[in-house]
Structure 1
């Protein structure tokens, strides 16, 4: 059991001591931690959070340690890699004995053993979920469906591999998710079959 968690489609705010605000996205689990050096922070077990801090703050996600003396950043752990995005201020990441710095509008990812180099990203896309909006800019339909499945009960199943490689430019509000099957059908001419329990077949 996690100290703080969200269910499918839920988002919530958690205020910690020392002016640290956590915004939890859908299907997120975090624990409060006291680290070996006596410092306090959190561990992201799964999901996605935005952190706003005005004081030194430390957290763990996967095999990495993230530290910030003040700023705003997003950490996502929804697969084999952890994605870290600095939205404001700066932060440091310690991973497998290497220390890296991220400044505003920079992002990197890391897995069990390896990590990427920092790259510049559009942080309005990364943080769009805070406005209950999902922005896709050239991702495959397969990726989009995986992302939509994080926010809805049931499951969208893509049955056509070629269709899944179509590139998507879209802005989808979370309140549109009940109608997402029709959106996919109308946009891509796909055959859509809706089944009980929120299951949708796309072919």
Structure 2
């Protein structure tokens, strides 16, 4: 069975992505949750299972895969539904996923994921506004080309998993998006798997 190492559900956006994908594809796996340490020992602790000292990290027998995108690509090798079946949708989804993996730095830095915090942002600077504009544009392109309700068609795929933490951020910080994008956020937050993650996040701080 696959073993997925993750960190705090309340804070770890990177952990959420492969965890949510595995849940949505009904792939059995063992969850290993390792909490962040406040004394600076997290890296050393995580190095026991991850070569980078970071999460997420997937173990499949004697095979170790680290980095959220590499993990999702590894999953896709054995599970064809991880990416859209349509070639054009798959190409778009891969491009959008890669953009999320390496971009949107202002949104990430100014609005860190915190599932249990509700803190509307009263001021949006130019860098954050640019990220939000691009997200609206990118998601709208997916909806227009592939008809939704998910980003690349009628099924949840890796691209939805990668933007799922953005759904949490936009919701918790009350960031402006258009109605169609808000509908996707509402859909993602209503998924049973996402609700399970959010319950776990809540239990961490009780």
TM-score by length of 1: 0.29
| TM-score for both structures, normalised by structure 2 | 0.28
Give 1 or 2: higher helix fraction: 2
If asked which structure has higher relative contact order (CA below 8 Å, sep 6+), I would say 2
